[in-house]
Amino acid sequence: MPDVVIEPAPLEAGTLRIIPIGGLGEVGRNMTSYEIDGKILIVDCGVLFPEEHQPGVDLILPDFGFLRERLDDIVGVVLTHGHEDHIGAVPYLLRQRTDIPLIGSTLTLALVEAKLKEHRIQPYTLTVAEGQRERIGPFDLEFIAVNHSIPDALAVAIKTRAGSVLATGDFKMDQLPLDGRLTDLREFARLGAEGVDLFMVDSTNADIPGFTPLERSIGPVLDEVIARSPRRVIVASFSSHVHRVQQVLDAAHFNGRRVALLGRSMVRNMTIAAELGYLKVPEGVLVDYKRAGDIPDDRIVYMSTGSQGEPMAVLSRMANRDHQIEIGEGDTVILASSLIPGNENAVYRVIDGLTKLGANVVHKGNAKVHVSGHAAAGELLYCYNILKPKNVLPIHGEYRHLFANAKLAHDTGIREQNTFIGENGAVYDLRDGEVRVAGQLDLGFVYVDGSTVGEITDADLKDRRILGEEGFISVIIVVDATTGRIIVGPEIHARGFAEDDAVFEEVKPKISSALREAAQNGVRDQHALQQTVRRTVGTWVNRRLRRRPMLVPLVIEA
């Protein structure tokens, strides 16, 4: 994997250029660009959720800035399914050009359209289904049914005059799916027989041996946990996990309980899923949250967001006693989801907080209340053996997942030189069945912070971390503009320090001495004087207090 920028050569006619923009080395931000003959197709456009070392950030977008000058060349965006890590960045792309066509299944497009409505964007859409073929510019697209933790997921075969690519999206091979919709291995086999030049395959569970457990194995566990719960039950899951919500509705109905949906995204997504027939709601089970308080505690189930420990989500607010539902003795909380890498500490904090309040917390670590939506190693081996692709590019996963997936490809006979592990921004050119690395773009993180997009930098986040971990010191000094002599100060104000402010009396003479010396050397520049103060205070604080706080010196000339 190159760690330097390598500018790719101009794209030759008849060559397909593939650039993973997000999704490599991370679980999220999935987005890939395909270009041939001057036209670009995008597959997926998702977000990544921030980790603890990114304070204040709401979302992280793919860095598609390099496409800004090529927006008119984009012929469409194919969305494989409706999870946020595949559709969440669509509004930010369409802000650049609102008429880019969106291509996806019925449920996927319905979820995207609801999201875009909040951004006041009316999209152009093309609804597709498994078995359907569409020609979009120079791209022949074929859509294949795959099973995932959300209905209506699709893989896409992309055929061009340069060769063929199969991109799986997220998938697994549940042989007894809740909705009866299998991953279509017959179509995979047909595509393999026709020849797949490049297989771009989900890697999330590539390091897990065997097969992903059946989704329906969760139902009896949820039923049992709800049946023995003496008071309220709160189930937390992803707001788009239709299958999990279906199982909760069924288990609640079986146990004579009603269900209230909590969280704006949960209510929005499940309303859409129910209206389209993907969610089967038993008669009389759903109740509006505002009326749920009138129902006895042993007859209600709350279905909420916040399974990843998001600080503003419903479950975290419950754990912090910042929600109308006050958790107490006898309540049961079920975390019906897996941990996205990087969220472990946040989730365990929520579990600890709920446990401290008296709740019985049930999670994947102590009960079978979640199964993954991604293919494990055994399922991936089946794919390699069925497809026999010429080249493989593992996608959607952290590096350990990508490497594990590559090893599976090698085990089935695919040569190492035909298996590519790269970083976001890697440029691959496909022509006549051969793939070569053509360059490396410099792509970074694009942070969404409130209403600002892309304005927060890594340096800003470093400042925020320093403020949170090391504290803040401001130093105010007034100097004579002519002589450089100190007139007022130094005044030192500290925040985030356990020590009394009197401790800083020790450094004030050092500041005065440093400024006198600078003045004697003819230094009058305000910035240079501030840097002198910064070095003096920083050195002293580091040696004396073993801290590296944010330092804000202010030298005022009078």
Q: pLDDT class for 256, splitting at 50, 70, 90?
A: very high
Q: Of the CATH numbers 3.40.1410.10, 3.40.50.10710, 3.20.20.70, 3.40.50.720, which one belongs to the domain with range 215-362?
A: 3.40.50.10710
**pLDDT tens digit string along 185-212?**
999 999 999 999 999 999 999 999 999 9
For residue 490, cis peptide bond before it (omega within 30 degrees of 0):
yes
CA dihedral 368, 372, 378, 381 (to 10 degrees): 180
The whole-chain average pLDDT of the chain stands at 87
Rounded CA separation 94/120 (Å): 11
Residue by residue, DSSP assigns 460-519 as HHHHHHHHHHH-EEEEEEEE-TTT--EEEEEEEEEES-SS-GGGGGGTHHHHHHHHHHHH
- Check residue 445 and give its pLDDT: 83
Cβ pair 360, 332 in contact under 8 A: yes
CA dihedral 301, 306, 312, 316 (to 10 degrees): 70
- Check residue 365 and give its pLDDT: 74
Q: Per-residue pLDDT averaged across 108-129, rounded?
A: 94
- Check residue 2 and give its pLDDT: 47
Portion of the chain with pLDDT greater than 90, in percent: 55
Nearest to 304, CA basis, from 358, 245, 346, 251: 245
Rounded CA separation 116/98 (Å): 10
Topology match between the domains 215-362 and 458-557: no
Architecture of domain 16-210+372-443: 4-Layer Sandwich (3.60)
Lowest-pLDDT choice from 335-344, 361-370, 382-391: 335-344
Which carries the bigger pLDDT value, residue 184 or residue 239?
184
Q: For residue 210, how far is the Cα from the chain centroid?
A: 26
Cβ pair 204, 401 in contact under 8 A: yes
Cβ pair 315, 362 in contact under 8 A: no
**pLDDT tens digit string along 389-408?**
999 999 999 999 999 999 99
Q: Greatest CA span in the chain, whole angstroms?
A: 86
Rounded CA separation 382/391 (Å): 16
- Check residue 509 and give its pLDDT: 81
**pLDDT tens digit string along 158-184?**
999 999 999 999 999 999 998 899 999
| CATH 2.60.120.10 is the classification of domain 458-557 | no
Indicate if the pLDDT at residue 432 is higher than 70.
yes
- Check residue 191 and give its pLDDT: 97
Q: For residue 432, how far is the Cα from the chain centroid?
A: 35
Which tokens go with 32?
Answer: 């890939």
Domain ranges within the chain, ordered by starting residue: 16-210+372-443, 215-362, 458-557
Indicate if the pLDDT at residue 1 is higher than 50.
no
Nearest to 323, CA basis, from 450, 236, 451: 236
Cβ pair 64, 90 in contact under 8 A: no
**pLDDT tens digit string along 485-514?**
777 777 887 776 656 667 777 778 888 778
Indicate if the pLDDT at residue 436 is higher than 80.
yes
Q: pLDDT class for 307, splitting at 50, 70, 90?
A: confident
